[in-house]
Amino acid sequence: MGWSVLGIFTLALFAPFLHRLLGRATGWVLALFPFTLVVFFGRHLPILPGERFATSWSWVPSLGVDLSFVLDGLSLTFVLLIGGIGALVLIYSGAYLGEQSGGGRFFAYLLLFMGSMLGLVLSDNVITLFVFWELTSISSYLLIGFHHQTDSSRASALKALLVTGAGGLLLLAGLLLMMLAAVQLGLPLETAGRISAMFSVNFQQHPLYMPILVLLLLGAFTKSAQVPFHFWLPAAMAAPTPVSAYLHSATMVKAGVYILARFHPILGGTLQWKTLMIGVGVVTMLVGAIMATGQRDLKRILAYSTISVLGILTTLLGVGTVQAIEAAVVFLVAHALYKAALFMVAGNIDHETGTRDVTRLGGLRSLMPVTAITGILAAFSKAGAPPMFGFLGKEALYTAKLDIETIGLWLIIGAVVANVLLVAMSLVVAVWPFFGSFRQTPKTPHEAPISMLLGPVLLAGFGMFVGLIPGAFDRSVGSAMSTAILGFPVEMKLKLWHGLNPESILVMALSGFTLATGFVLFMKLRPWLTHTLELACRLEPWGPGVRRAWQEGRLLHELTCRLEPLGPTRAYERLLAGLAWSAQGVTRLIQSGYLRRYILITILAVVGLVSYPLLHSIQPQLSQNAWQIRPHEAVVALLTLAGAIATVRARYRLTGVAALGVTGLGIALTFVMFGAPDLAMTQVMVETLTVILFVLVFYHLPPFVPRSTRRQRFRDLVISMSAGLVMALVVLATASIHLEPVLSDFFARQSLSAAYGRNVVNVILVDFRALDTLGEITVLAVAGFGVYALLRLKARQKGEVQK
Amino acid sequence: MKSLILQTASRYLIVLLVIFSVFILLRGHNEPGGGFVGGLLIAGAFALYGLAYEPKAARRLLRLDPRTIIGVGLVTAAGSGLAAVWHGQPFLTGQWLPYPIPFLGKLGTVFFFDLGVYLVVLGTALLVLLTLEEE
């Protein structure tokens, strides 16, 4: 299992080269890998409830982090979705991108995502899981910002990254708390990070349960676009359509749902879990469905309906009864199939006509017959019409909701409302563009190429196949997946026809009502939306605007258009702007551009930060023989002091530098006298190079003019004196603290015997602490290149001015 | 800034300084010295030469671009640590030849690490100094 993840990452590395070699055929070739993956994992089908396969590679055993992978019903279903849809999306992308530049990069990102998502659903260790989780966020960021030349694309990518990234941090905090709690509850550290080991302990009585739950849910909610974090998903539609089909409907946005499902047996079932999940889920379900109705962009409609479905899934996991989990399982898989198909259909329409605005589309059925049939099939599945897979999902959903006692009625009403809207919108997406009279579009449409039809046709066809033979699904993965989510074995039995009993009649009536109302709404919605050919988001006063909008039949669009920027998007933008503003303020305060100001701030900060702990905790003391100064020591000290005074009082730069050199050499002499020849050598070399440097810049400097006033000079004197005083105190303090000489003893003893060197300082630098030195020389190299770049930049600017 | 005295002196000095810097590098393990000081020393030598003649002359004498030297130094230092990984020990653990080499004494990967430090310091200092001299 680990190899498959590693394999995809490796393939991602080579994707750009393959693309250069193969051109448009890259998609077909790359698709072979995920296809192999499906076959490889498919050999575990049918997976039995409770069956598990595990492998593990050691990573950081001392911290309880390992690369352990587990395959059970839940992860197998996800793996098959990731591999299967992934293969189709790769094939689709080849034709969709065509001759666009950056194709190699695109495939690399897509494969990077595929590997991360695969790792995410297979991980058994929470830290590994988090790493893959972040990788999906990053690859999603890269893919949304694929058209990085456009501002909106970059802004959308950043939005998605910041929202899911922030959620990721919360998730990490939650997972670490979980590990902590697991250790406190008696798991050994080596296995405390294993999800499979966490089943054996009871978190729900632990005092950390509530923080863990909240952090985990926040992480999942941001990823799965739950209200109020949903706003990044419609914005993410800036990504190329295959990406939207793959990441933002079928797989990545389900990562949050996956986490919730994965931790359901460990954390689920409590009142807090139910309240939070059902509350957020229902709101998301309704908000998504309502916002979808006002959109005219095909992809945005699909994005909002995805949000709604994710809300439904969260609600079902929150309810947590056997029926609810089974419904979630069916709904999740059905949605992945039909939504990916619908996105690809939308992509075909966009690709062939040049527009995604649904009001500008119509009558395409004779021009794009295959796309049309596929779209209608997928939309029927989405609408939950028999005999599609989506129908089973809807039936299961209603059955599950009927089951709950107290709030069941309200949930049913909410679900029916949301589903009616979803039915209408699925018809808008997949029926509207193909029927009615033909409308002129930017491009002359014709049927999409085979590679762009294969994906949607197979996915929609598969949806119908599962709908007709529901037993194939529940026997192969459905039961095992429900078992994995519930934590105890269940046997799932999906049926198209439930026979005649009061409950099934009620469910069927609800389904029929949903379909009929949805269809009526769609017929109504069509004229409502068609009237709004001009951009409806103009800034009008609310009162008369609303009345006119109602008369003109575009109230819905107006309302959702106005709602959208009022929601969390606004908070996000305010937050971002505030951050930039405060960063700017701080930068302006600290980085004034004057060297003297920088030095002033640095010295003041050091004095402040060092003197506080110094005066509070350590009493610097003079050692007893402090006043036994030998004559030559006194001479060197006086020389150093005289050099410093002369530097400050110098009227010419050259004098100043020479005097500074005296101080430096005096310090070097001090090092020699007190047994630090290495330091002394380095000090002398640095002094020498400083002089050379000075000679080099001497000619470029403006004439030396003392600018400071008397007051400023007094201020500088005070600051420099205090800095000197603090440094002197630090030296005294280090001399007066009695440290256990463990380390210095160790180095002195081991230097010759273990590292074959008599110079302890050097041995520490190149052997005992070699990693530190490696870091230091790397920093040195980077700093050198920085200086070089700055000098070159300046030289080039000068050259331009001269031209 | 052409000075006959400086030019003549630096022509002889640079030979001595380069030899001295290698000496400093080699003795570093047992006596005061080492890659850092050695690197600074040789950088100073080349900077002096560049000052006496012109930066181009110093670059010619150096043969390699300072940027290349930095890269080679970093790779040498990091690469010297890999020998330990090969033997299953932590990265950068010193590996030693069992017998001393004439003139050098005991030879180990630590020497190559120090050589890397020497090269990085030399490259960085010269990169800055020579670029400044060319201004």
List, for residues B73-94, the tens digit of each pLDDT value.
999 999 998 888 888 777 888 7
**Under 8 Å between Cβ of B106 and B26:** no
Tell me the pLDDT band of A595, cut-offs 50, 70 and 90: confident
Per-residue pLDDT tens digits for B4-35: 898 999 999 999 999 999 999 888 878 888 88
pLDDT band at A554 (very low <50, low <70, confident <90, very high): low
Domain with CATH 1.20.120 in chain A: 595-738
d(CA A776, CA A255): 40
Q: What end-to-end distance do the CA atoms of chain B give, in Å?
A: 14
Residue pair A278/A329 in contact (Cβ under 8 Å)? The answer is no
Task: Please state, in angstroms and rounded to a whole number, the distance separating the CA atoms of residues A315 and B111.
Answer: 64
Mean per-residue pLDDT, A45-65: 79
Contact criterion met (CB < 8 Å) for B113 and A773? yes
**Percent of chain A at pLDDT exceeding 90:** 18
Query: Please, what is the Cα angle at A255 between A252 and A257, to 5 degrees?
Result: 130
> Among A345-349, A515-519, A704-708, B123-127, whose mean pLDDT is lowest?
A704-708
Contacts A–B by Cβ distance under 8 A: 141
Name the DSSP letter for residue A339: H
CB contact under 8 A, B40 and A770: no
Find the residue in A nearest to B135 (Cα).
A795
H-run or E-run covering A69: strand A65-71
Overall average pLDDT of the A388-413 stretch: 70
Is residue A130 within 8 Å of residue A175, measured between CB atoms?
yes
The verdict on A201 touching B (C-beta cutoff 8 Å) is no
pLDDT band at A495 (very low <50, low <70, confident <90, very high): low
User: Model confidence over A362-397: pLDDT tens digits?
Assistant: 777 778 888 888 888 888 777 777 666 667 767 777
A30 has a pLDDT exceeding 90 = no
Q: Is the pLDDT of residue A536 over 50?
A: no
What average pLDDT does this structure show over A405-431? Answer: 80
Cβ atoms A297, A237 nearer than 8 A = yes
Confidence label for B68 from pLDDT (cuts 50, 70 and 90): very high
Residue A482 identity (one-letter amino acid): S
Is it the case that residue B115 has pLDDT exceeding 90?
yes
Rg, Å, chain B Cα set? 17
**Position A517 pLDDT exceeds 90:** no
pTM: 0.75
A555-574 mean pLDDT: 68
Contact check, Cβ <8 Å, B37/A678: yes
Q: Which of A214-218, A564-568, A673-677, A784-788 has the lowest mean pLDDT?
A: A564-568
**Is B62 touching A (CB cutoff 8 A)?**
no
Lowest mean pLDDT among A127-136, A352-361, A572-581, B123-132: A352-361
If you average pLDDT over residues A756-782, what whole number do you get?
Answer: 87
Examine the pLDDT at A202 and tell me if it is beyond 90. Answer: no
The answer to whether A674 faces chain B, any CB pair under 8 Å, is no
Q: Which CATH code for domain A595-738?
A: 1.20.120
Say if A792 is an interface residue toward chain B (CB within 8 Å): yes
Query: Does residue A687 belong to the interface with chain B, where contact is any CB pair within 8 Å?
Result: no
* B79: closest chain A residue by CA: A774
Nearest Cα residue in chain A from B93 = A767
pLDDT of residue A798: 66
The residue length of chain A stands at 803
pLDDT at residue A785 is higher than 90? yes
The span from the CA of A439 to the CA of A498, in Å, is: 44
Q: Is the pLDDT of residue A473 over 80?
A: no
ipTM: 0.92
Helix, strand, coil distribution of chain B in percent, nearest 5: 70, 5, 25
* Per-residue CA distances from A588 to A255, A266, A577, A580, A593 (Å): 41, 50, 16, 12, 9
